Chains A and B, each alone.
Chain A
Amino acid sequence: MKLQNKIVYILLTAFLGYTLLFSGFIYYSISRFSFADFYKRLEIRAITTAKIELENPTETNVVQQLRQEYLEVLPNESHLILEDIDKSSVLEDARLDGYQNGFLRAILAEGLATYNTQNTFVYGTLYQTPDGREHLVIISAENYFATHHLAYLRNLILTSLAIAFLLIVVFSVMFSRKIIEPIQNIIRKTRKIGFENLHMRLEVPGSNDAIRELSQTFNDMLNRLETSFETQKNFISNASHELNTPLTSIIGEADVTLSKLREPQEYIEAIKAILDDAEKLQSKTQALLLLAQTGFDGKRQKFGKVRMDQLILDVKETVEKIQTHSKISLDFSLLPESPLMLKVLGNEQLLHLALSNIVLNACKYSDGKPVNIALGAMEGLIVVIVKDNGIGIPPEEMDYIYDPYFRASNTKNHEGYGIGLPLARNIIRIHDGELKVSSKLNLGTTVEIHLPRGNFQL
């Protein structure tokens, strides 16, 4: 069953059950009350009638007057008085033929009894005059209230039940739709995300509820997926490129050497060159292997204490090794006094990878112009700013800079794969941080990294 229908049914049963119970209770208690009330009225009439007819008429003048003045005549009211009855033989009396036997017996046994057929209510009692004689008084009348008012009440309740049913159906359908809608949105969005657009994320709603948690969990999962995906891609493309260069030179060297017979000295030189390249190849494979082993062995990355100032110095060193002509200047002028404020809970290899990617990009696209790195800390946050004076990013392409393999239109003269920035952003995201890029074409790019401070004690 669809979840929406389920919600509708549950709401319908709950609300309908409640209204049915409620209106049933009201109908039952009102009709009970009207019956009891009517019998009470009949009782008063029976006693007054008996008093008027059986006792001294002169004394009962007042009672008769009262009765005529204050007791309204009930519809179809009639009464029967059997004077001075003999309890054993009274049942054979022909005047009692119209009444139920059980009712008559109940009067004789208990002194009073009531019953009703359709709308006619009958009240019977034994009346004892002061001289000790017993009389049977039976009074009957039509209950106008029961016939008309109760029917009206019943109709009223039924119509209101019908209206309530309609209202509940409309309400529960709307309610269930409202509940289901964000989930269906998530489903629709998640369906769109596939291997080729893994960078897409679900919208996180502003309200603080389970839906928000759900989409955040999805996004976190996507972050992790994308990062590992792209690291692997990055790794493969880097590896193949790096390995290809020495291999080509080995093959070329061997090819040239084998093209004709040579002097032993030439062979020695050629083999030396090949050995040189092979050694380079080996050191590269070892480095790649190390890269693959650190962090991305399929297990969850280990998070530990990372000091950001140390990390930045390491990154600077690494970048200067790779891009020998780069000028990197550090601005630690706003370094906080307490070293605790510089510690991030994170994975050093990953953060190093992210930061060095950003700094490498900055150096690559600024053609030897200086690149500035600054570090500062504020309440619970650590800010790293990487600012270059390079070629910048065209403003209309800013939206795509996090798409893997996207390269801005002005980067044709620079080698690259378009993986560094998305990878860096994912690593920052894994650390609950934020990466902001602002850029002016041909003037430079500023990258701001915000990382939450780790909760460490001295």
Chain B
Amino acid sequence: MAKTILIPTDFTVKSLNLAKMALQKSLDPQEKIKIILIHGLMASTSITELLFYSKSRVLADLETPEFQASCNLLLSKFDGKIERMTIDIFSGFTQAAFENYLEANRIDEVYLPGNHKLKLASRSSFDLLPFFNKCRLPKIKVDWEDISISSHEDRENAISTLFFTRGQIAH
């Protein structure tokens, strides 16, 4: 039975480090992992916009080529480990809605970043971390630091930000 883990993302390559750590952490070669990368995005209030709402188009707008390339890197590295990796959008406003989402997707564990602050990818994005912190599932906090001394990229989107990091799981 595959384990499903939920990871918040802000569509920067840097935030994918969380997924990388999570995958590196599971040492059992038999264990398969389903990853759901989730981003909080408020649904539009306009009826016409909702009428033509397409999740794939919204995601395509948010994903940068570097992000996709980095997802690809992870997929090829952990080819045998990842059963499925999906990117999803959460538009709920309440803790109950979030719990519902967790239950519906049969999430086993949630990961959240310790020292890294997630950004808001678009104007209607909102922070999911309060929901993560309050949920009843096992939470795993991950700290990581850039080991290439000066993290001179304020470009968080270079593929190189996925490398040269040292992670630490704070239980």
Contacts and interface: CB of A to CB of B under 8 A. Distances in A.
Interface of A: 329, 331, 333-338, 341, 369-370, 372, 374, 376-379, 381, 383, 385, 387, 389, 392, 438, 440, 443-444, 446, 448
Nearest to A443: B152
Given A378-B72, A379-B72, A444-B150, A335 B160 contact: no
B148 A389 contact: yes
Given A378-B69, A378-B73, A334 B148 contact: no
A444 B155 CA distance: 13
Contacts of B38: none
Contact of B76 (A370, A379, A438, A443): A379
Nearest to A337: B79
Which 7 A-B pairs give the minimum distances between C-beta atoms? A378-B72, A443-B152, A374-B163, A336-B76, A376-B73, A334-B77, A440-B152
A448 B159 contact: yes
Interface residues of B, number: 25
Given A333-B20, A385-B159, A376 B77 contact: yes
B37 to A, nearest CB: 16
Given A369-B149, A438-B158, A376 B163 contact: yes
Interface in B68-93: 69, 72-80
B24 interface: yes
Nearest to A453: B76
Given A374-B164, A378-B72, A448-B159, A338 B79 contact: yes
B61 interface: no
Contacts of A329: 147
Contacts of B74: 334
Q: Which has the most chain A C-beta neighbours within 10 Å: B24, B69, B73, B150? A: B73
The winner among A335, A378, A440 for most chain B CB atoms within 10 A is A378
Interface of B: 20, 24, 69, 72-80, 147-150, 152-153, 155, 158-160, 162-164
Given A385-B159, A438-B155, 20 more contacts: A329-B147, A333-B20, A333-B24, A333-B77, A334-B163, A337-B76, A372-B148, A374-B164, A376-B77, A377-B73, A378-B69, A379-B76, A383-B69, A385-B160, A387-B160, A389-B148, A389-B149, A392-B152, A438-B153, A440-B152
A334 B20 CA distance: 9
B77 A387 contact: no
25 contacts: A329-B147, A331-B163, A331-B164, A333-B24, A333-B163, A336-B79, A369-B149, A372-B147, A372-B163, A374-B160, A376-B159, A376-B162, A377-B77, A378-B72, A381-B69, A383-B69, A387-B148, A387-B163, A438-B155, A438-B158, A440-B152, A443-B152, A446-B153, A446-B158, A446-B160
Contacts of B24: 333
- Highest count of chain A CB atoms <10 Å: which of B77, B149, B153: B77
Contact of A337 (B77, B149, B162, B164): B77
A87 B101 CA distance: 114
B164 A443 contact: no
A336 B77 contact: yes
Contacts of B79: 336-338
A271 to B, nearest CB: 50
B75 A378 contact: yes
A448 B155 CA distance: 14
Nearest to B81: A337
Contacts of B150: 389, 443-444
A385 B149 contact: no
Nearest to A386: B160
A374 B70 CA distance: 13
Given A334-B162, A446-B158, A448-B159, A370 B148 contact: yes
A179 B78 CA distance: 51
A369 B20 CA distance: 26
A92 to B, nearest CB: 97
A423 B79 CA distance: 35
A329 B152 CA distance: 18
Nearest to B155: A438
B5 to A, nearest CB: 18
